[in-house]
Structure 1
Amino acid sequence: MGDLEIRAAVAEDVPAIVAMLADDPLGAQRESPGDLTPYLAALERLQADPNQRLVVAVREGRVVGTLQLTIVHGLCRRGATRSIIEGVRVHADERGSGLGTRFIEWAIEESRRADCQLVQLTSDKARTDAHRFYERLGFEASHEGFKLQL
């Protein structure tokens, strides 16, 4: 992976992060790259929460990927701590380079360091390529997810 660095996201990374979030048919419907105000406010909330890790992958000074890892403490599973991986995006120029695998491996190791007993993620039903990718990394499709828009 050469000079790849995975580090905490900062405000200067937000335009690149939002561009990657919007760079597919689903994201194009949900994201608003023209107005970064809500994203910058969200970054501040994430930075203030010790259970949130919003990271970017940087190669040659350019943000080429992003991922959010959330640590959740709970009572289920004998008081287990779990992590949730969300918002995984790899820049179009980097797809197929192994960056996605490196990102997920980073998240799993970070979860271990946080004493998590389970790593979970969701992926939209339409993202069949992503489903194959996660299964290749050992994840199992074990639940049906539900959402309620508020």
Structure 2
Amino acid sequence: MLQKGVVEVERDITFRLAAEEDLERIVQMLADDVLGEERERYEDPLPEGYLKAFKAIESDPNNELTVACHDKEIIGVMQITFTPYLTHQGSWRATIEGVRTSSAVRGQGVGSKMINWAVDRARERGCSLVQLTTDKQRGEALRFYQKLGFTATHEGMKMKL
């Protein structure tokens, strides 16, 4: 039995590059969790910074803002950045960031399908490594990524400016 606001998702999930008209839904998903509600601003109109960031991502051939759709509804989002490195013998790597699924489909395997799709996309682009970070406060996310084959091999560090 479904709860109100919950969408049952079967196997029909498609992936495509995000379009500008998807931006409101994307920001809504980014803001829809404990950490996101502190750092995102989902309001009408959206803050200008979101559109500027979208345009920069869209114009960069090494960045892909990808949405996961069930029928025509956007149920997930992630950004994949492809970066050349001198390390690892000059190979490319993919960084997966900003992964969110709609609260209506969490726990239904959508996140797994998204990450597996992103790993396949990295292979298509010739990457030898896929990396991602998750906030230390997101213990469930850490276990989720480990279940998908990711290992915590490095200690990540950030500096807010």
Query: SS of the counterpart of 1:94?
Result: coil
SS at match of 2:104: helix
Pairing 1:2–2:11 present? yes
Q: TM-score, normalised by structure 1?
A: 0.96
Match of 2:124 among 85, 107, 113: 113
Match of 1:23 in 2: 32
State the SS of the aligned residue for 2:95.
strand
Separation of aligned partners in 1, 2:51 and 2:69: 19
Aligned residue type for 1:115: G
AA at the equivalent of 2:28: A
The alpha carbon displacement at 1:80 in A equals: 1.6
Match of 1:70 in 2: 81
In structure 2, list runs of 5 or more residues that go unmatched.
1-9
Aligned to 2:52: 41
Q: Please provide the CA RMSD for this pair.
A: 1.0
- Contact in 2 for aligned 1:54/1:69 (Cα 8 Å): yes
Task: Provide the TM-score with structure 2 as the length reference.
Answer: 0.90
Per-residue deviation, 1:100: 0.5
Q: Give percent identity, aligned residues only.
A: 44
Structure 1 residue aligned with 2:72: 61
The aligned amino acid for 2:58 is: Q
Total equivalences in the alignment: 150
* Equivalent residue, structure 2, for 1:149: 160
Segments of 4+ moved more than 2 angstroms: none
